[in-house]
Amino acid sequence: MNEDLKVNLSWLPQDHVEASSTENASAAGSSLVPVVEPELLVNPWDIVLCTSGTLISCENAVVVLIIFHNPSLRAPMFLLIGSLALADLLAGIGLIINFIFAYLLQSEATKLVTIGLIVASFSASVGSLLAITVDRYLSLYYALTYNSERTVTFTYVMLILLWGASICIGLLPVMGWNCLRDESTCSVIRPLTKNNAAVLSVSFLLMFALMLQLYIQICKIVMRHAHQIALQHHFLATSHYVTTRKGVSTLAIILGTFAACWMPFTLYSLIADYTYPSIYTYATLLPATYNSIINPVIYAFRNQEIQKALWLICCGCIPSNLSQRARSPSDV
């Protein structure tokens, strides 16, 4: 009984430990963050995270099934979109499992396994976003040689590297790099150590900087292509301006959404530790999970081929306006 009480109290902030009663301490538990309100049986923030995980799982499962069951969707672009959807699907499942284990099966082993799954999944998700950015840049910069066996090989190499690195990152807490034995080394996400969280945050910032640079180059290429097409077809200057602006706006939305979702939690993880109030961790972590909800909308459901496959599955037909729609330089 004393051992169980000690485990539960370790998830509470220090200012709550002394004030909490034995009944509240044994009833309250935390999932992703080391803090819960001792007077509540279930933390509302954990319910929100579990709900977010359910939505993430359902949405990305549709994308995975479409790509897996459609033989025509085997191009490098669709492999990367499938990788992103699979990573987000696993992240959603991890959030659900984490909620179940936190309140039904509390143990050190389950904490390590669930946090490892979540870290690996979100790492693979961010890595897949970077891989998609690289693929988009190559498809524009090397337009004439993009559709070749070299591109397919390069795509598989990227997938192997990003998933291998993500799995290794997820295994770190399980293999011993955790703070279960030393509370003072904990980050805002227990049982990740402060150093582990810092490495993840710095890695994210580096990948974001690379994505930003690539999207700037993509933007320049899109503007140049749109200008060349306008000259060849004798389009008006206003038409060229509208097409270019649409492409730039699309890129701004993609990068802005990614930054808005992940940047708050990344920066907070760098400056905070386990002593900070849990509400700050929840408030910054929740938008990061929303990125996995938005990803299918931006990268999958906007794609014309995936739209066709979805229409075929749902109603057995393809709308005429969709089948006749031509790809423009703004579709990046």
Residue 219 corresponds to which amino acid? C
- Which single residue is written with the structure tokens 């070749």? 148
What confidence score (pLDDT) does residue 316 get? 67
pLDDT at residue 66 in the model: 92
Q: Of the candidates 265, 146, 150, 135, which has an alpha carbon nearest to the alpha carbon of residue 211?
A: 135
Task: Print the SS3 string covering 61-81.
Answer: HHHHHHHHHCCCCCCHHHHHH
Per-run averaged pLDDT (10 residues), the chain, 332 residues: 37 38 41 51 90 96 92 89 96 94 84 93 95 90 83 94 96 89 88 91 95 89 73 56 62 88 94 90 94 92 84 74 52 51
Q: Please report the pLDDT score of residue 323 as a whole number.
A: 58
Spatial distance between the Cα atoms of 283 and 86, rounded to a whole number of angstroms: 25
Ranges assigned E (strand) in 44-152: none
In contact, 33 and 190? CB cutoff 8 Å:
yes
Residue in 77, 185, 188 with CA at minimum distance from that of residue 131:
77
Residue-level pLDDT at 16 = 39
Q: Which of 62, 207, 25 is nearest to 132 (CA)?
A: 207
Distance separating alpha carbons of residues 117 and 167, to the nearest angstrom: 8
Q: Give pTM, 2 decimals.
A: 0.82
Of 233, 265, 260, nearest to 329 (Cα)?
233
pLDDT for position 33: 55
Q: Which of 119, 276, 271 is nearest to 191 (CA)?
A: 119
Compute the distance between CA of residue 311 and CA of residue 319 in angstroms, rounded to an integer.
8
Please tell me the predicted confidence (pLDDT) of residue 59.
Answer: 94
Do the beta carbons of residue 115 and residue 31 sit within 8 Å? no
Domains of the chain: 42-315 (1.20.1070.10)
DSSP string, 254-308: HHHHHHHHHHHHHHHHHH--TTS-HHHHHHHHHHHHHHHHHHIIIIITTSHHHHH
pLDDT of residue 232: 67
What are 79's two structure tokens? 């492999």
